[in-house]
Every structure is written in structure tokens, then in C-alpha cells.
Structure 1
């Protein structure tokens, strides 16, 4: 059973959601090199921490690579293969995870032409309903040595590969030789030293990030990026939007795996996108962007249900852990509350899983990428960014001031406070967008909006927690459970009202009024 990342404050959803079996994931840190047929591996015993080099091992590997017909996975640097031979035969899914790094997930060999459901699900944001089929075949004769440290610890593995690869349906194959250096327990200093030794011996940095990329070559089409006038408002807005769209797509598999904070980060990227489309209506034509708002809200709500329950569970877990007086039945009642929240969170994850498989979701991702590739520019798009963006920030801050002023006369002050928090968050995101252009004043606006957002958020979070505890109290089955819920309610009420009392002080500190 694959175990999802879990810590003291995070939910282990692997068992509860009965995911398909996937072996433990692995962070692969490696570099690839092209090597001539007469290349000789240099002596590597002098590298940092390397005491000895193991004897050679030889493996015959045969791998079938799977992708959509238009190679969407390859376009994002993702490889999905079924490989026979070697010590790790099976299905391998590799996704970029940083410089020289890929996150690898594995599954048993299973059926030759059927991608394991769990791995197929993890590339849903890229495939978007398109069938995954074999696109290339690679055969490799591999010779490996291991770099050993103290007590025989394997620091790195060096693979010398003679590769033959062909695109599905092609009669001829390409052949080449490449060297891979993969860290095992060694550090990046070793990787850097190995790089220097191999290049000095005649190896050259790999011409492609993967064997598959080399075979497919120009058949892979990268995501289009709009051409805008340098220094224009459109350039600044689209740079920011493009980063958010990338965060949504790359965050999808992490959210499905319930990685720590993954749902939160994906939700924030969705919110930033929504806010940007609202704030930048003078740069992007709202006739095209406004229809995206309800779709983005739908996705944010699906992510928000999971995130809100996650926050509540962690919040109450911390509260209960701090109540030293809980013993016996009361302690059991506290565990019962957390168990119910865990169950609710697990159910929310299942609903999120379902939402992320809907055609509606695929259509939204297509629309967002299309927006970045072919933006519907409005009248102010061509203006210099250092002229247009400060105007945008002025408008956004005036909205914050107006929302704050409305609290005093509001029929429902709590709703007005919540609205002010949302407006402050939108202003914060606008300032984040403008910061590379506007500089220190935008940076200060980010800080001010964040303070407003947080002080209102402290009150709002407490209100939500109290509402949940009030509902739970109606279902309390024992005096001990009612007692625990009452104690928690008192703690939340005190903290919520304390945050509310700090609102005016915080506003005066920020505005000087």
C-alpha cells in the first residue's frame, strides 16, 4: 500500500480512500551526459566522501513509453513507462520536481498495455480525458557501478547506457550512449564533483532531459506563450497569470496524493487567478475572462471544502493537546471529535477526486492555458506597466478602504468584515503581481493587505470554528463530549473576539488614521 506523506498535523488518507496500490514514491536526483562510443569512465574514488567503487553490474532493460497522441505528458517533462528488466521492473511515472530532480512513483508490472489506474489519475490534469497509449519503445544495455562511502553506504549510482529507441510505428531506431549519475545517499556536492570529472573525461551534458525526449525530438510541442510588448502591462499580467496556471496544473497530482499543504497551494493559485482577472479588466477583455469566474469559483470551492476541514482538524487537535485537564472520558470525547473531522475530510477528498475528473475541470484548464497563450487584450494592455500597474493598485486599495468603512453601518457586521477580508486579499494579490515592476510601494501594500487579511481572518476562523462546535454539540452523546465541546467553544470565542478587537488598532497602524 502506498503511504501518502503524513505528519503530526496532516491526514493519512491512503487507507481511508482505498487508493490503488502504488509503491513508495522516490525523489530522483540525477544528471545525464552524452558519451562517445570510445568514452571511458574515469576513476571516481577521489570524489567527496567516496571510499570505493563497486564492481560492475549489467542489465538488459526494455521500456514502453505511454502518452497522449499529441504528447502532452512529454510537453510538460513527464514520462510514463512500463519497463522490464533490472532491479525496479514495473510502471514508473516521473514528474519534474526541481533542478536535476524528478518525483518518481511506481506500480507493479500489471498488464502490458493498460496504465495502472492510480498512475493514470495522477496525469489527468495533462491528459484531460485523452487516451494514454504507447508512443515509443526503448531498449537499453546498462552497466552500473556504485560509489560507496563509509560502512559501504551507496552514495550514488553511475549507469553507462547503450540505448536504442524508436517512435511507435517507426521502422528504424536511433542509437546512442549516455551516462547517468543518480544520487542515492550522497549530496549535491558529490553530484557537482562527478559532473566535473565526467566532463573532463569527455562526456558532455545530455542533449535531452530524458531518453524519451531524445527519441521524440521535435514531435513534442511546448505550451504556447503569448508575445507581448516588453515592459507593457500585458507582459506583467500574463507573466503572473502564467505562473498561477502552472501552479494549478502541477499542483493537481500533489493534491490527489494529499501531499502536505498541496490542496492549500492549489487553492491559492486558483484564488490568485480569479483576483487577477477581476483586477486587470483594463488589460484583459472581460467578455472572455468573466465567464471563467464561476468555473474558477467552482474549483476553489471543491478545494476549499478539503482545506477548511483540514484546518479545523489541525486547529482542534492543537487545542485539545493544550487542555491538560482532559482525562478519561473527556480525553476520549476529544478523540471522537477529531475522528469525526477526519472522516469528514476523507469524504471531502473523495468528492474532490470526483470533481478533478469531470469534463468541466478539463475545459477550465484548457481555457486557462488558452488565455495565457492567446490573451484577449483590452485597451490598456499596451500601456507601460510602470504607468498602468500603480493605477491598478490605487483602485484596489480604494476598494479596501470602502469595504472597511462599510463595516460601521452594516446590517450584518460579520458579513461586512468577511467582505473586507476578501477585498484585502484581492489587493494583496494585485500587489504581488505588480511588485516586480512597482517595487517597494507594492511590497508594502502586500504587507499591509496581508495584515488586514490576517486580523480579519483570525476572527472569521474563530466564527467558523464556533459554528462547527455548536453543530457538534447538538449531536453530543455524553456529558464528557458536551464538556469538551464547551471548553473548545470558549477558547475559540475568546480568541475570535480578541482578533476582532485588534481590527481597529491594526487599521490605524496601517493607514495612520
Structure 2
């Protein structure tokens, strides 16, 4: 990664303005080119507020990814550069993490600059570059065009030169620019959702999930602890948000990413499910103690799950950088940059409570069907998935629900955790049955199967009790 101090000054200029700077130096040979840059920030403009900027720029001699940040007490800013790539390099996101944390970085502005750049020669040596720019910037539906002038010192030039150039520019009629960057100018008037609106609540929750997916990107690739799990949960939460609150979204724009989120969740699920089962069987074997189960049985189970995890993660990584996955990540960023919201999202966030009530009612209907045939565990699995939607709803509407929000979310978390244990026991039993022919230790396999049967019974009872407790306030 290249790191270079950038010492520059921007000026606002009137039409036809051409600097002479005769008191400072002479001009070198000009050159003209076009720059196209996409600026990224959090939806709340956290980078801009801290005096940072992040862009992907094409054209010019230094095209690539650029992150600029203040240099503390030193003049100018520090510019970090990486080569041009389709997606934001993880290293630059890591550099920005002190400012953004786990917030999403999304493309908020596109800036096209037609630039004429001329060296300013002092004592026979180019000491600065003076750029006369015609700028066309777009942020959402807004487009603005203006002219500005930028002076940047060449590496090694005396910082005092910038003060001298600035004084000459002001004397000739230029004015110090009101904004630190081209993007900050167009973003200054970018509309944001009204506080307390449905739009604000939806975008806040969506932003947290997109941010988590971005933050886990590097960890997913190397299978860092909990990275795949967190990415999977964020994917599920996003899909649930688009589904449960569908009336508040523009379905034409949200349906494609919603379906692609299903695909991504399945990819993340393969290594994660194997990881969970391996942990559970590892704990079980440790609890049973040495000699209780034959070594061949332990090896068959843990070896199978290790292979399954390895294959699942390899398939995930292979898919992670495909055009399909990149398109999904871009669509999720656009979900925040140019929100596909229906007009009703402009109403109060309390309007979203209807979606929560509908999700609870659906869970109740599925629970009634499951109670009629409690032995059909697939019915309880459907209840679990519906309960997850309710749980995610309560998370998204925490501010609307007020003091009851945390307790309500905890009740639904208890439901999903208990039925999650039930589903894990079902899958574990299926694995035991599948692997039982791998060794001759018939009795050992039977012991493991009996344990999963007992586990299913206990988890089902716990899940039903938790479900009754969660539904009672809504009945």
C-alpha cells in the first residue's frame, strides 16, 4: 500500500477565471484528462464528518483506490493508495475502521472531472500542480456541475509555498472552497430519512447487516473464528427485513437481491452447519469420556464433519468472488445508497408494527398445525423459521417497541434457540444413521442415537414452552 502526504488547497472560481501566479513562478506544459471517481462513505457520512474521504478513481496517473485522512498536527492529509479493483480492498476498510466500526461503506456520489493540469515551476523545478477542473457530480437523483481550481504541492516541496500560492490566488479573485472534497459538496445537500420514520428504522437495521457482511469479508475468506456465522446471520436478517416489511419496499428492486440472499445464506450454511455439529459432537465425546465410544466411531463422525466443513468452505470461497456474489454485494450497497423504498416508508416507524404482528400471527398458525401433530418435527422446523422472522422484527423495531423491546426479543430468541437445538439433534441423528455402517461398533452408534433422541425430546418441550411464553402477550 502506498502512503503519501497530500498538501493541497481547493478554490471556487468564476467562469473564465485563469490564474497567472506570476509572482510565484512560471508554467510548465499542461495536460488534459478525464477522471471518474466513485466516493464511498457510511450512510451517515461518518468519514466526511471526520475529514476522511474514500474513492475509487479511474483515469489519470494514479487511478486506483484512495483513502485520505488527516495528519494530526501536520499540514495536509495522508493519502493511502491501492491498485484499481472492482471492490473495496479489505486493507482500506481496515484502515477506516477506527471511524466507521462495523458500519457499511456504500457508493454515495459519482464525480466526473475534466481536468487540465499544469505544473507550477519555481526556481526551475516543478513544485506544485495546478488543476483547473470542470466537475459533474451526482448523488442519488441530484446532479450538479461547477468549476473549481486545485493546487497540490509536489512531494518534497516546502509547505510554505502553498500559503504563497493561496495568497496569490485570493488576490486574483479565487475563493477558498467551502468543502474539503468534490464529493462532500454534492453530499452536503443529499436528503436523508426523517428521524423516527419507517424509512429510518428500516435503513438503520439494513445498514447494520450490510456493514457486518462487509466487515466479515476478509474473515469469511480465511475461515476466521465466527466470521462465517456472523455473515450468515446478517444475510438472514437482511432477507427477513425485505420479506417481513415488503409493503414498505419497491418489490421490483428488492426481489432480486432478496432471492440472491437465499443463495448466499445456503453457501454460508454448509461450512457453518458442519462446524456446529463438530463442536457439539466434540463436546459430547468429551462428556462421555475416554473408552465410552470406540475410537473408530469418534473418528468417523469428526472426520466426516471436518471433510464436510472443508469442502463447504472451499465452495463458499470459490463462489465469494464470482460475478454473481459481487453483483449481490453491489446491490446491497445500493440498497442503502439509493434506498428502494415505497412512499409509505415516509410514515412513522410505528407503521412497521403491522409487519411484526403479521409475523407473530403466521408463527401462531404454524404452531397450531404443529401442535396437532407434534411428532412431525418438520412442522416445528417451520415454526422455528417463522419465529426467527419475528425475532429479527423485534430487533429492527427496538426503538419503536421501547422498554418492552429487549424482553420481547429475548422471548423470541429463547424460542429460536430451543428449536435450533431440536433441529441440530435431528440433523445429528441423521448423520449417525448415515455413518453407522462405517464401523462394527453397533452398540456405540445406538448409544449416540439414544442421546440424540433424548435431546430432541428435551428441546421440543423447551421450545414449546418458550413459544407459549412468547405468544402469550399477543393472544
User: TM-score, normalised to structure 2's length?
Assistant: 0.63
Report the structure number with the largest CA radius of gyration.
Answer: 2
What is the alpha-carbon distance in structure 2 between the residues aligned to residue 235 and residue 491 of structure 1? 48
Q: CA distance change for structure 1 residues 395 and 440 in 2, over 3 Å: closer, same or farther?
A: farther
2:281 counterpart residue number: 316
Q: What number of residue pairs does the alignment pair up?
A: 340
| Deviation per residue, 1:443-498 (Å, 9 max, x gap) | 23211211211221121110011011111113x1x324x44433222211111111
Unaligned runs of 5+ in 1: 1-30, 38-62, 80-93, 103-124, 128-163, 179-216
Tell me which of 84, 92, 95 is aligned to 1:78: 92
Counterpart residue number, 2:222: 257
1:67 aligned onto 2:114: no
Match of 2:458 in 1: 498
2:383 aligned residue (420, 429, 452): 420
Query: Are the aligned partners of 1:73 and 1:126 in contact in 2 as well (CA < 8 Å)?
Result: no
CA distance in 2, matches of 1:101, 1:367: 21
Give ranges in structure 2 of 5+ residues lacking alignment: 1-69, 108-126, 130-150, 160-179
Residues 106 and 336 of structure 2 are in contact (CA less than 8 Å); yes or no, is this contact kept in structure 1?
no
The 3 A distance-change label for structure 1 pair 448 and 479 is: same
The aligned residue for residue 363 of structure 1 is 327
Q: 1:324 to 1:269 in 2, by over 3 A?
A: same
CA deviation profile, 1:57-81 (whole Å, cap 9, x unmatched):
xxxxxx99423278x648x8707xx
Alpha-carbon distance, 1:511 to partner: 3.8
Aligned to 2:434: 471
Partner of residue 508 from structure 1, selected from 445, 448, 468:
468
Q: What's 1:436 paired with?
A: 399
- Normalising by structure 1, what TM-score? 0.59
- CA root-mean-square deviation: 3.8
Q: Give runs of ≥4 in structure 1 deviating > 4 Å.
A: 94-102, 174-178, 219-226
Cα deviation, residue 418, structure 1: 0.8
Indicate conservation of the 8 Å contact 2:128/2:152, yes or no.
no
Residue matched to 2:352: 389
Q: Deviations over 1:40-92 (max 9, x none)?
A: xxxxxxxxxxxxxxxxxxxxxxx99423278x648x8707xxxxxxxxxxxxx
Query: Aligned-pair distance for 1:397?
Result: 1.5
Give the 3 Å change call, closer, same or farther, for CA 469–237 of structure 1 in structure 2.
same
Q: Give 1:96 deviation, angstroms.
A: 4.6
CA deviation digits over 1:79-116, x for unaligned, max 9? Answer: 7xxxxxxxxxxxxxx545546999xxxxxxxxxxxxxx
Q: Distance in 2 between matches of 1:100 and 1:126?
A: 12
Residues 127-276 of structure 1: matches in 2 within 5 Å? 173-174=154-155, 218=181, 227-276=192-241
The offset of 1:332, in angstroms, is: 4.6
Greater helix fraction, Structure 1 or Structure 2: 2
Instruction: Quote the Cα distance in structure 1 between the aligned partners of 2:433 and 2:158.
Output: 67
Question: Deviation at 1:379?
Answer: 3.7
